[in-house]
Structure 1
Amino acid sequence: MVAPTPIAWATIEDALHDWFESATGLTGKIRWAD
């Protein structure tokens, strides 16, 4: 199994972040730790 590249991880995190904000309606109020 090939490990995801850093770029792939960033894309996945962005997608999860967008989904989370959409699902919770807290856009702009929650920021994931860097």
Structure 2
Amino acid sequence: MIQGGWDYVIAAYAIVWGGLGLYAISLALRLRKHP
């Protein structure tokens, strides 16, 4: 098992999910502005 690798995995997942979350929110706001 790689001991120090999980920090990078967790950080990568956090960045990916954070980006997807922000994209979804911005997309929802954009659609809400233009009914």
- What is the TM-score of this pair, normalised by structure 2? 0.58
Q: Which residues of structure 1 form unaligned runs of 5+?
A: 26-34
**RMSD of aligned C-alpha atoms?**
1.4
Q: Percent of counterpart pairs with the same letter? A: 9
Q: Which residues of structure 2 form unaligned runs of 5+?
A: 27-35
Q: How many residues are aligned here?
A: 22
When Rg is computed on C-alpha atoms for both structures, the one with the higher figure is 2
- Corresponding position of 1:18: 19
State the alpha-carbon separation in 2 of the partners of residues 21 and 9 from structure 1.
Answer: 18
- What is the TM-score of this pair, normalised by structure 1? 0.60
Question: Which structure exhibits the higher relative contact order, with contacts defined as CA atoms closer than 8 Å and separated by 6 or more residues?
Answer: 1
Deviating 4+ runs (over 2 angstroms): none
